[in-house]
Every structure is written in structure tokens, then in C-alpha cells.
Amino acid sequence: MPRYRHAVTVRTVRQVFPTDSGAVDIDPVDLVHDEVRQTDGTRPWVLMNMISSADGATTLDGASGGLGGEADRRLLGTLRGLADVILVGASTVRAENYRAPRTPDDRVGVLRATSGRPPRPRLAVVSASLALDPTALMFRPVGPADPPPLIYTATGAPGSARDSLSGVAEVVDAGTGSQVDVGLVVADLAGRGAGVVLAEGGPSLNHQLVAAGLVDELNLTISPLLVGGTAKRILSGPTLAAPAGLRLDRVLSDDGYLFCRYLLG
């Protein structure tokens, strides 16, 4: 019997790969939180999570929310529940109107509490220009003890923008001129004790992380929609010097969505 089943309702999904004798029902909370995510100790495990339509679009009407559904939101909550830090690019923050991370629901919250971690992951945003609204929802903490968001920027960011954000965020230089170095970002997060970093895009940040060899895991939700158009793929940037190899670890299915977990390296 899965842990804490007596305390809350458990919703299962279908595991369609790997299976020995056909698809099976499985509890995604136990599955995701029991998986080992550990690097060589020099940096955190970086888990990239994205959604795309069946034809590869990452947004619908400018945001990813239109591609998702209740099943996708539940699994996202499960993944967020195991993260120490949620890392996201400024363009995605603005497009998706990000909030400060919420307290995980049900057993996910219990698992965080019993592991000795803070009740909520910390938000970290990559923004070379610091073009962020200091009154945005992401700067409103859920609890009085929550640390402010981390904003990773470059030395060339405008001083006026630094001043406007200094009261609501911790601004960290992680690059020179107008370019943020994601290697410095991940190194700084390691120094802060982060064990698992959940990267939620957008495609430009994803590309930088993959190109730097910093992604350990990709969780890709395939939405049962065809969108068309010229929307960006999950990576946006120059062709990689060498394609990053993926190993399919598992596939879950719920309400028409496919939830694919790949391991890199």
C-alpha cells in the first residue's frame, strides 16, 4: 500500500512503459518521489519539464497553459514538490504570469515535510535585462519566512532596474555584459545547497542548459492537440554542436496525455 494512502485520495495514472505484462495503474507521487536524483555532488540535479502539442508547439495563444489540462497540472505539482528550486526565464515568467511557488498539495507536501525541506521550493529567474515588474505576483511570498526570489542577471543590467527589484528579490550577477552564464547560475544554486533544480523554460533557457551539458532529466508532456503555426520548440537556439542523447526511462498516460521521462548522458 503506498505511503499515506489512508490520509488522502490517491489518483493513479497508467504506466505504459516499461511494463512486463501490459499497462498498469500506478501512483505518480510514489513513483516520482522514489526515483533517485543525484549527481556527482558538484552540482544539483537539473530536471527540465516542458509540455508540447503532438506537433511540437510549446505554446497556444502565447502561453503553455492552453496545452495543459488537469492531468498535466497534477503531475507538474508532483514534480514541483520534489524541487528545491524552480528555475525559469524572464520571458516565460512574464508570459505565464508566474506566482511564487505554492505549498504542494496532499501527500507531496507531507513528503517535503518529512524530508526536512522547506514547505515550498524557491523561485529563481534568469533575466539579463532585469525587465521585471516588482509588483508582479511572483514577488508576493506565500509565507512570511519564505526567501525572496533569486534573480540571476549580468553585470550590464541597468542600475535603475536593480534598485527597483532590490526590495523584493535577491539579485545575483551570473555573467558579464548582457549575457547570463547558466553555468554560473547552477554553480550558485549548488552553493546554496540546492539538490534538485526544476527548469521550466522557456525554450531559450532550455537550449542554454542543454548546450552547457547541465540537464540530467527531461520530463516532456505530449498534449493531445495539433496546433500548427510557427511556435517555438522546447529548445530555441543554434543547432547544438552535437545532439544530446536521450534514454527513455518511462511513459505514463492519463486523460489522453503522454508523460515521458528521459535521462540524458
Give the whole-angstrom CA distance, residue 215 versus residue 209.
Answer: 6
Asked whether residue 50 is domain-assigned, the answer is yes
pLDDT at 5 over 70: no
> Quick one: average pLDDT of 241-264?
96
What CATH number is attached to the domain comprising 229? 3.40.430.10
For the chain, the 3-state helix, strand and coil shares in percent, each to the nearest 5, are 25, 25, 50
3-state secondary structure of 164: helix
Q: How many domains does the chain have?
A: 1
* Average model confidence (pLDDT) across the chain: 92
Would you call the peptide bond into 224 cis, given omega within 30 degrees of 0 as the criterion? Answer: no
| Residue 217: all three cell numbers together | 532529466
CA distances from 28 to 46, 65, 68, 108, 253 (A): 19, 21, 17, 10, 11
Asked whether residue 160 is domain-assigned, the answer is no
Domain that holds residue 230: 13-117+189-264
| Residue 206 · residue 239 · CB < 8 Å | no
> Quick one: average pLDDT of 75-102?
94
Give the whole-angstrom CA distance, residue 70 versus residue 182.
Answer: 32
| Residue 78: all three cell numbers together | 508532483
pLDDT tens for 91-106 read 999 999 999 998 887 7
Asked whether residue 85 is domain-assigned, the answer is yes
Output the pLDDT for position 2. Answer: 34
Instruction: Give residue 108's pLDDT band: very low, low, confident or very high (50, 70, 90).
Output: confident
Output the pLDDT for position 231. Answer: 77
CA 205 distance to own-chain centroid = 11
Asked whether residue 98 is domain-assigned, the answer is yes
Asked whether residue 147 is domain-assigned, the answer is no
Give the whole-angstrom CA distance, residue 152 versus residue 157.
Answer: 10
Asked whether residue 166 is domain-assigned, the answer is no
Output the pLDDT for position 124. Answer: 98
- The CA angle 9-14-15, to the nearest 5 degrees, is 120
| Residue 85 · residue 124 · CB < 8 Å | yes
Asked whether residue 81 is domain-assigned, the answer is yes
Find, among 79, 125, 93, 86, the residue nearest to 219 by Cα. Answer: 79
Give every CB contact of residue 257 below 8 A, 6+ residues apart in sequence.
Answer: 69, 71, 72, 221, 222, 223, 224
Instruction: Give residue 6's pLDDT band: very low, low, confident or very high (50, 70, 90).
Output: very low
The neighbouring-strand residues paired with 253 are: 14, 258
Would you call the peptide bond into 183 cis, given omega within 30 degrees of 0 as the criterion? Answer: no
| Residue 48 · residue 199 · CB < 8 Å | yes
Asked whether residue 109 is domain-assigned, the answer is yes
